[in-house]
Chains A and B, each alone.
Chain A
Amino acid sequence: MSIYYSGTFKRSAGVISAVVKQLNLVNLKPVKKFKSNLIHFTQMLDFLFHISSPKVAETNLNCVIKTNIVCDRSEPQIKIDLNDAGSIKFLANNLTVLEILQQINKHISSQVKEESVNQETTKARKKQIKR
């Protein structure tokens, strides 16, 4: 009576798999500064943790992440200043980590043009990575 199993046999660990997938796509090259006003007990601290990871930081070493922990009951905000004079503001009150990452990938990471794979690693670049 029953039909055979059809579909993929992937094993997903839940939301975190989706988050990791988005994180792998994140490219912060167009970003100049990351300013966040976070309340001390929101899920946005999770987002902060992910965005501060070394892999994401490697995409743009000049990008500065500035966090301001806010104690009054204002909305948590994330403001992203771009290199070419523009900024994106996230009102993160009701947003999840996954949603923010998806939007970042949609608006920011998509702007990055694919560079040539074979880049000569100069001494300066090596020093930067070491830091």
Chain B
Amino acid sequence: MALIPRKALCETSSLLLQFRRFRGKINIQRPRKPHFERAKYIALTQPYFINPNKDKTPQELCKGFKEQRSEETENPFQRILSQELYKWLTSSRLIVFYHSNPMPAELRFKAKVSFKKKNMHLTQYGKKTVEMAVKGTPYEAVLNLFVSHNVMLFSPEPDIKTVFSISKKFPQFVLLAGVLEGKFVSRDELTAYSLIRTSNQPRPGSYKPLTASVAKSLAV
């Protein structure tokens, strides 16, 4: 009894119905139109991409367009240099600003050495570093001088004469202006200050013994 297949007794397959699912080959060139429900889901789940050029201006659409890079991040080393520069600015009694014409590096080194021998510090800083150091401080006016190639000289003593005597040997350094005892001075003022005698000793030949006549002349 068990040997008789179940199918033959209980389930009778009707020969009239032939179910077809991928029966035969699928025609990819002329695909079958899907059922409406299937078609609905296909239509809903189709991916769509927004055009990347949608809201762009004609300038942005141009071939060689480069987006403007914002300079928000500052260079920490530049910040350190600017702080160093600010220390020099505040600690020196005389600061001189030069415009430097082209000169060989050897000569520039010689100039640095000559100044160093008189305890003066000659350096070169870029405009951006100076801007970092000086912006918001009383030295902000100095930025106007930084147009072309610039060189700065820092001296702890206001020894203008020495500065002039050494500068004469290096004509490539053109003196622009200076800061004397925290006061911004022009080139003419610097030359005037250099002519003032700073020593306390009287001039030779000017000493007169204090006699009655001299005392009379001194009395106002």
State the A residues within 8 Å of B (CB). Answer: 40-43, 45-46, 48-49, 52-54, 67, 69, 71
> Could you say which residues of chain B place their CB within 8 Å of the CB of A71?
177, 186-189
Other A-B pairs beyond A40-B176, A42-B147, A52-B101, 4, CB < 8 Å? A40-B99, A41-B147, A45-B174, A53-B102
Contact between A69 and B176, CB atoms less than 8 A apart: yes
> Could you say which residues of chain B place their CB within 8 Å of the CB of A45?
99, 147-148, 174
Which secondary structure dominates where chain B touches chain A?
mixed
Q: How far is the CA of A37 from the CA of B201 in the complex (A)?
A: 38
Q: Give the size of the chain B interface in residues (CB under 8 angstroms).
A: 18
Q: How far is the CA of A41 from the CA of B146 in the complex (A)?
A: 7
Contact between B102 and A69, CB atoms less than 8 A apart: no
Contact between A40 and B187, CB atoms less than 8 A apart: yes
Given contacts A41-B144, A45-B147, contact A52 B102 (CB under 8 A): yes
Q: Which residue of B lies closest to A42 (CB)?
A: B147
Contact between A69 and B144, CB atoms less than 8 A apart: no
Query: Is B175's beta carbon under 8 Å from chain A?
Result: yes
Contact between A41 and B145, CB atoms less than 8 A apart: yes
Query: Is B149's beta carbon under 8 Å from chain A?
Result: yes
Q: Which residue of B lies closest to A54 (CB)?
A: B102
Q: Which residue of A lies closest to B175 (CB)?
A: A69
